[in-house]
Amino acid sequence: MTYSKNECLSKDELISLQLQRLQETLVRVYNLVPFYKEKFNNLGIKPSDIKSLEDLSKLPFTKKKDLRDNYPYGLFAVDMDQIVRIHSSSGTTGKPTVVGYTEHDMDVWSEVMARVFTMGGLTSRDILQNSTGYGLFTGGLGFHTAAERMKMAVIPSSTGFTSRQLLLLKDFKATAITGTPSFALHMAEKAKAEGYDIKKDFSLKVGFFGAEPASEGLKNEISRVWGIHYVEVYGLSEIIGPGVAASCMHSHLLHINEDHFYPEIIDLTTGEVLPEGERGELVVTSLTKQALPIIRYKTGDITSLTRIPCKCGRTIARIESIVGRADDMLLINGVNVFPSQIEHVLSHVDGITLNYQIIAHKKGYLDKLQVDIELNENIMSENIHQLDNLKKHIEHEMLNNLYINVDVKLVAPKSIIRSEGKAVRVIDKRKDI
């Protein structure tokens, strides 16, 4: 079941719709946003020069920094009296980024999110516990508005208050839940500790999760403990919020709503557009937004794109689950390596923990990558032969998956220094030279 016919257009119909919307968007930003007019003029490009979707690659990228530099409303293409909603994401440094929506934008947003709920099998008969944060963050209200549009019963429980969430979940009989993967896992642990029988006490059949990366292992674990189908939801406020892409019931890849958000995958070093199937940074151009149209926005997220038809019948392209952030990429002797790929390999090995540290250094002219991994307490062994086999096994798996040689060093449990807050996973000693 699909929510919009635009999810199932033929290739020609889709391309023609995308091109028409792109050309309208370019005329709007050129005429209404001085930032874009100046950028296009500097390159000697007029909106009328963009005659095909491929021509889009002639245009410059928009970066998060551009939003900050034009804080708060410098990139808006409408007067403030047309704005009906403002959201903002907190920056770790400096000014936050500000996004605005017209009534039309709110309609687009709730439509693409309704598509996501439909991908997960929801209808007006469902009860949704929306355990995503409400407020300036786009998550909570993004889900909420679409659930109302679909005439579901929506419970705005927001995040936190885990015991109360569990009580509501049992008594109000929600059939679907939203949240971050880590909160879903935390709730499951708390449910067990409080004596709930997850499969009997709750009525959940599907969960919509996003806002933070989750490995396949974590997604499977959440599906298993809750007994639900896991829908991965991707979005970012600069594009619209949640609803840019999501996985359906038939595939772990995410359908991207490309009739509204045109995707390109670019090479991290050259910025060139990559062919289908190759991994690079996701760049998105909004095709229908009024308040904050955005051209070739560099999301910083690493993925690949495929147009192989999906069993569900949707023809829109699919992206793979985000592999990592462009900022986290390490270049080792010309090969791109993401910490998430290393974690993925480690998550399939017995006898070790996921407490690890990646150290890049130079030996002569060559880059070397070392990974220190804490052993599992139960495996801590005096048997040198056994440890040597484990080390060789991991090194073999790294070579198979990452195509580079990695030196593995197995270390005693709890010997890697813990940091307050975000773990320091990567130490790049090459930068010191």
Residues that bind Zn ion (CB under 5 A): 248, 250-251, 310, 312, 314
Cα atoms in the 13 Å half-sphere on the side-chain side of 46: 2
- Distance, C-alpha 419 to centroid of its chain: 25
- Under a CB-based contact definition with an 8 Å cutoff, are residues 175 and 145 in contact? no
Beta carbon nearer to Zn ion, 251 or 353? 251
CA–CA separation, 288 vs 110, rounded Å? 13
Q: How far is the CB of 177 from Zn ion (least distance, A)?
A: 21
- What angle do helix axes 216-226 and 181-193 make, rounded to 10 degrees? 40
CA–CA separation, 246 vs 312, rounded Å? 13
Beta carbon nearer to Zn ion, 250 or 429? 250
Phi-psi region of 294 (alpha: psi -120 to 50; beta: other; left: phi over 0): beta
Nearest-10 Cα torsion for 108, 109, 111, 115? 130
Beta carbon nearer to Zn ion, 75 or 316? 316
Which amino acid is residue 201, in one-letter code? D
Beta carbon nearer to Zn ion, 7 or 374? 7
Beta carbon nearer to Zn ion, 30 or 230? 230
Beta carbon nearer to Zn ion, 223 or 251? 251
Q: How far is the CB of 121 from Zn ion (least distance, A)?
A: 12
Q: How far is the CB of 253 from Zn ion (least distance, A)?
A: 8
- Under a CB-based contact definition with an 8 Å cutoff, are residues 122 and 249 in contact? no
- What angle do helix axes 339-346 and 384-402 make, rounded to 10 degrees? 130
Beta carbon nearer to Zn ion, 296 or 318? 318
Burial 18-52 (b: 16+ CB within 10 A, else e): bbebbbebbebbbebbebbeebbeeeebebeebee
Q: How far is the CB of 184 from Zn ion (least distance, A)?
A: 22
CA–CA separation, 380 vs 361, rounded Å? 28
Beta carbon nearer to Zn ion, 19 or 248? 248
What value, to the nearest 5°, has the Cα angle with vertex 316 and ends 310 and 318?
65
Beta carbon nearer to Zn ion, 106 or 312? 312
Cβ burial of 144 (10 Å; 0-12, 13-18, 19+) is buried
Q: How far is the CB of 231 from Zn ion (least distance, A)?
A: 11
Q: How far is the CB of 311 from Zn ion (least distance, A)?
A: 6
Beta carbon nearer to Zn ion, 120 or 324? 120
Q: How far is the CB of 248 from Zn ion (least distance, A)?
A: 3
Q: How far is the CB of 318 from Zn ion (least distance, A)?
A: 7
**In the 3-class helix/strand/coil scheme, how is 73-131 assigned residue by residue?**
CCCCCCCHHHEEEEEEECCCCCCCEEEEEEHHHHHHHHHHHHHHHHHCCCCCCCEEEEC
Q: Is the dihedral of CA 283, 287, 288, 290 positive or negative?
A: positive
Q: How far is the CB of 122 from Zn ion (least distance, A)?
A: 15
Q: How far is the CB of 301 from Zn ion (least distance, A)?
A: 20
The one-character DSSP state at 50 is -
Beta carbon nearer to Zn ion, 11 or 51? 11
Strand extents, DSSP E, 168-279: 176-179, 206-210, 229-236, 241-247, 254-256, 261-266
Q: How far is the CB of 306 from Zn ion (least distance, A)?
A: 11
